[in-house]
Amino acid sequence: MPTLKAKIADESAVRRALMRISHEITENNKGISGVILVGIKSRGISLGNIISDNLEKIEGIRPEMYELDITNYRDDLEKSHDIPDFSKKSETFPVDGKKVIIVDDVIYTGRTARAALEAIFSMGRPSKIQLAVLVDRGHRELPIRADYVGKTIPTAKSEIVKVNTGDYDGEVSIELYEKE
């Protein structure tokens, strides 16, 4: 069982970071026309919904929000029982010509973001893809960076960054754990 080392951010700090990301999205895309949000299951969906709420408050329009399950696109499945059933079709949504903003909780190695990119390109050709994450913890294995980052937390590989969302965890926060 991992040991809690520190509570990095409480709910108000998380919401401020997500509001800042929302403003940056609006500024960098000159509004939200043509923007869609794609939350990576599971906590990316919760964070994407908060960003969507924020964008509606800022712009008066709610961008379309979709959920993305990247399981079929992962390159780090090692055991045969981890290999997904490709006969089950993932849900798709329109991406052609859209400005797609992928939302995730933490970027670490970059493999989740790579899988999300692959999934999006399997659906069509967006005009632009951007990545928004609440936490960048470093240790990238792929040349991928987030366009929008709520908080950068330098970590050791022996540490775990946990983003808690109300939907899944009953509270909103960022915590740092030490692996045992």
pLDDT (tens place) for every residue of the chain, 180 residues total? 899 999 999 999 999 999 999 999 999 999 999 999 999 999 999 999 999 999 999 999 999 999 999 998 977 666 544 544 444 445 799 999 999 999 999 999 999 999 999 999 999 999 999 999 999 999 999 999 999 999 999 999 999 999 999 999 999 999 999 998
DSSP string over 9-21: E-HHHHHHHHHHH
Q: What is the pLDDT of residue 78?
A: 60
**pTM here?**
0.92
Query: Facing residues of 175 across strands?
Result: 7, 162
- Per-residue exposure over 50-64, b if at least 16 CB sit within 10 Å of its own CB, e if not: bbbebbeebbeeebe
Compute the radius of gyration of the chain from its Cα atoms.
16
Q: What is the pLDDT of residue 180?
A: 85
